[in-house]
Structure 1
Amino acid sequence: MHTPDGPLANAPAPATVPRWLLPSWLLRWVPLGREVLAFGIVGLIQICIDWMIFVVLTHFGVGPAAGNVTGRITAAGLGFWLNGRWTFAQKNCSHETLRWQSFVRYSLTWCMTTALSTMIVLWVDHGHGLHWAWAVKPVADALLAALSFLVSKYWIYRPSRYDKDVQIK
């Protein structure tokens, strides 16, 4: 058996709080807090990728609408996979969250949030210029992500007893 070397080699194991010491209302919120944190991390990665592509494309003359959609498409695949495998993965059942039904739901939600994001970007670009659109885009996308969390949790990645479709690998 391998023992760790270094300054933490003899450190005690981290203490865990027995479940019976925590109030039941708190135990109900712990999984939700983990999902919110994971969704936020995935969303931050997506927003960074999306925003960088948007800025580079529009800097080189691509229109704001095309740049926004291209950035969102690029980040969307990663977001669908990470949220299905990590954020909303079902721990104690055989249910897979990455199903065709989930992909269709994700695509519908993505189309609606992309349309809203594109309208905001175009409105800001038209009224205040491209540099303001660059600044506003990540804020608008973060606000849309808050709504997307609820849609993802309760509609896109929800477990279904009746689905027997093929999972996406």
Structure 2
Amino acid sequence: MSILRQVPLFLLMGGVQLVLDSAVTIGLSRAGLALGLANVIGRVCGAMLGFWLNGRFTFGGPGSRLGRAALVRFLAAWLLLTAASTLGLAAIASNLSLQAAWIAKPVVEAALAVASFFISRHWVYRAA
């Protein structure tokens, strides 16, 4: 499948994930939950949707199936990217403010999306 087809689909699916992820993260942290935990919960919500959307539409082809191997690879990549996201947001909140971390959340996630695209394309969904 062409990278020229995959990039716009990945951006579209990522946008949907980012809205869900950010809304959950900001809502929970605004309600008093620790930012790190709120971020992980937000990313879990986005990840559940994103695994299926990207596996089915972005990187999948006719007749492709999302199997256990793709899920395990997805979870490994997700754990690393979530750690980077959470540590980055925690550093911003600690050095600036919680509100600054809320503003930075989409920027942090966009930067991680570049790595996520290539990890997904070449490793996570390689058999999909």
* TM-score exceeds 0.5: yes
| 1:59-78 correspondence to structure 2 within 5 Å | 59-78=30-49
The answer to whether the aligner puts 1:82 opposite 2:53 as a matched pair is yes
Give the counterpart letter for 2:57 in structure 1.
W
- Kindly report the root-mean-square deviation, in angstroms, between the aligned alpha carbons of the 2 structures: 1.3
Higher helix share: 2
SS of the residue corresponding to residue 80 of structure 1 reads: helix
Q: CA deviation at 1:141?
A: 0.6
Is 1:32 aligned to residue 3 of structure 2?
yes
Task: Give a deviation string over 1:33-88, Cα, whole Å, max 9, x none.
Answer: 11000001001111110001111111110001001000000110100000011001
Which residue, 58, 79, 83 being the options, matches 2:29?
58
Structure 1 residue corresponding to 2:109, chosen from 132, 141, 156: 141
Partners of 2:53 and 2:64 in 1: how far apart? 16
Q: How far apart, in 2, do the equivalents of 1:131 and 1:33 lie? A: 36
Give the distance between the partners of 1:95 and 1:109, measured in 2 at CA. Answer: 21
Partner Cα separation in structure 1 for residue 48 and residue 25 of structure 2:
16
2:97 equivalent to 1:129: yes
Higher RCO structure (Cα 8 Å, ≥6 apart): 2
Report SS of the residue matched to 1:62: coil
Could you tell me which runs of 5 or more consecutive residues in structure 2 were left unpaired when the two chains were aligned: none
Q: How many residues align?
A: 128
Report the CA distance between 1:90 and its aligned residue: 2.0
The percentage of counterpart residues that share the same residue type is 36
Instruction: Give 1:86-165 correspondences, 5 Å limit.
Output: 86-91=57-62, 94-96=63-65, 98-159=66-127
Structure 1 residue runs of 5 or longer lacking an equivalent are: 1-29, 161-169
In the aligned structure 2, how far is the partner of 1:56 from the partner of 1:81? 24
TM-score (normalised: structure 1): 0.73
